[in-house]
Structure formats: structure tokens, C-alpha cells
Amino acid sequence: MKRYAIIGAGMMGREHINNLALVSGAQLVALSDPHQLSLDESAAHAIPYGFSPACFLDTEEMLASTQLDAVIISAPNHTHFEIMQGVMKHDVAILLEKPMCTTVADARGLHAAAQTYSHPIWVGMEYRYMPPIWEFIDRVRNGLTGDVKMLSIKEHRFPFLKKVGDWNRFSKNTGGTLVEKCCHFFDLMRYILQDEPTRVFASGGQDVNHLDESYNGRRPDILDNAYIVVEFAKGTRAILDLCMFAEGSEEQEAIYAIGDIGKLEVGIPSAKLTWSPRDKSGPVVENIDTPSAALEAGDHHGATFFQLSRFHQSLMADTPPEVSTYDGLIAVQIGAAAHQSIETGLPVTLDIEFTEKR
């Protein structure tokens, strides 16, 4: 049995509670959050799952007084770096929700600190673990399409949800939309292609969402649409097409990989995998099933459960994390470069300083 705590008792914290209940050998023993209402609601939410976590308004008090094997950090983005400084003083494995940090400087600092930390730090890039996307990645990496020349990821979705204190309405707190939301997709690009990014060019804006909102006299400054082109070292080009005022879309996400043999695509939530070879013997369409319990436990097409399961398995087997702080750093760096490109109108060459991929 592994003893877990969750830091951050909001929406994502409750999703982790749902999914920990599905992981054999995982026990939620503590919650911390400085917001009393969130803490109370999440503690009550945990009871039907058989958990009775101790609750703390202060994270350090929780860490000092509770025997733990692992901590899940699902607090607001801008608190990640500070929280990690405290958690890393203790002997616990860490699952840190995306984005790892809101700035490249903090992400570099955290990655450097991770090199001397004696326990695993796993960065929460759960999109890798959606079963349809997992199958898509496996087939591309095993050569179905041939050498990938073009990779396209599309997310057409709903606007940002309301959060406690409205923290996610401001880029200072989120890192900006292309860090906060899109780090998942930049991570997928690297993971699918098994290659490193070299240059980013982007165009985007805030054109529809939150324009009539005001918080203490401040208007939200978060982008709601963008195109981002990422060039990779081996010559492949990838593009992200993001729209956050397209809640009527049939597919929220779609990924296309096109190589010299053919095209493979996957859609979410349809879970359809479509293979279209250049010899026109297709298309061949398959449905990739996700267990209903995993689908019902969260808003990420089962990914939270499968990622938590693999994190838990790595703890049991004492194996390295599958998503490292290096992965988290590069995802933040691509997102920050995309914001810089939008601001300047110029492409940005990436300065990737770290080669240690622990």
C-alpha cells in the first residue's frame, strides 16, 4: 500500500481522488489547500470512495506530520515552483501537474534541482495516456506511416473554466495559454516524433473569450486561439491549431501524422483511429476502447487513471518516471517561445541548454 497526499483540492484534485480510488494499492491519507471551502468539498468528495484524508490549510504542516510515500500537486500553476521547494525537502515521490512551472527560468531551476533529488518526480502530461492516443503513438513510432514529415494537432474546445480566485484569467498566473493549456501538445509532438524542437513560429490572439470580464479593474489577458508551427531537428514540421471558442465541435482533439507511406489520424472523444495509406487501400477505421470506469472518473478520456496507474507502478517497482522534469522543461520552453513569437511577429530559435534527461 502506498500512502498519497494531494496538494490542491480544486477541480483537478477531485479528479485525482476519483482515479486514486481505481488504483489498487493506493490510499489517499491527506489533503492540503489554503482555501477552506475547496478543502471541505474535496474531503467530502473523498468519503464515498472509502478515503478519510486528514485536511490541512498549510502544506508544510501536512508534510511534517503525515507519513507519505507520494504527493500529487494539483495546485494553481503559479504556485508549483514554491510548493516544490517545500515538498522536495521530504522523502516522497512527486506527481506534479502540468505545466511544471509558469516561466522558463523556474522550469530550468526545478529541473536542475531534480538532478540531486533522491525520489522520482513525474510531470503530469496525461494526454500521452489516453488509450486512443497511446495506440496512435505506438503505431507511428513503430513505422506505420513511414518517416513522419508532417504532424498536426488540433484542439477545438470550450473556454477556460472558472477557478477559485479566478487565477486562470491572467497569464501571470498561468504562464499564458500556450504554456498552461498547450504544454500537453508540445510534449506530444516530442514524444511522437522522438525528436527535439529547434524553432517556433506562432500567430494568435484573444478575440472572443473573457473580453467583457473584469477582476478588480483588470481584464483577462489570456489567448483564446493560435496557430503554432514547431520545427524539429530531423526536419519534421508540426503544427498546433488551437481554438477555445469552439465548444460545439464534434471532436475536441484530432492528431494527424503523415509520412511517406500514409496518414494516421485519431480523434477524441470519438476514439476513432483512421489509417489512410498512400496506395489507397484504405481508409481503415478502428474504435479504440477505454474502460468506462476510467472515462467516468475524469475529464481527460481516461488519461488520468492510466497515468496514475503507471506512476503507482513505478513507485512499486522503483523505476524512473516516464515523464521527466526535462520533458516538463522543454514543454514550457516551447510554449514560452510561441508567446514570444506572437508578441514579436518573428520566429524564435530555441535555446535548449539541458541535455540531462532524467
Among the three residues 125, 151, 180, which one is the final residue of a domain in this structure?
A: 125
| Kind and range of the H or E run holding 258 | strand 253-259
Residue 302: inside a domain: no
35 shares its domain with 60: yes
Residue 181's pLDDT is what?
92
Q: What CATH number has the domain bearing residue 222? A: 3.30.360.10
Q: Scanning the structure block, which residue is given the C-alpha cell 530550468?
A: 108
Which residues have CB under 8 Å from 304's CB, separation 6+?
A: 15, 16, 18, 19, 126, 129, 294, 297, 298
Residue-level pLDDT at 358: 47
Q: In the chain, what percentage of residues exceed pLDDT 90?
A: 97
In the listed set 90, 106, 125, which residue is the last one of a domain according to the structure? Answer: 125
Say what the pLDDT of residue 27 is. 98
Please answer whether residues 137 and 128 qualify as being in contact, where contact means their C-beta atoms are separated by less than 8 angstroms.
Answer: yes
Residue 354 reports pLDDT greater than 50: no
pLDDT digits (tens, 9 = 90+) for 275-334: 999 999 999 999 999 999 999 999 999 999 999 999 999 999 999 999 999 999 999 999
In a domain, 303, yes or no: no
Residue 244 predicted with pLDDT over 70: yes
Return the CATH number at 64.
Answer: 3.40.50.720
Q: Quick check: is 48 in a domain?
A: yes
Range of the domain at 178: 128-288+322-349
Q: Percent of the chain, pLDDT > 70?
A: 98
Grid cell 475524469 is found at 298
**Is the separation of the CB atoms in 52 and 27 below 8 Å?**
no
d(CA 69, CA 4): 6
| Overall number of domains in the chain | 2
Q: In this structure, are 158 and 107 located in the same domain?
A: no
Does the pTM of the predicted model rise above 0.75?
yes
Spatial contact of 136 and 336, defined as CB atoms under 8 Å apart: no
Mean pLDDT of 141-149: 98
Does 169 have pLDDT greater than 70? yes
Establish if 196 belongs to a structural domain.
yes
Residue 116 falls within a domain, yes or no? yes
The pLDDT-based confidence of 351 (bands split at 50, 70, 90) is confident
Domain end among 125, 155, 171: 125
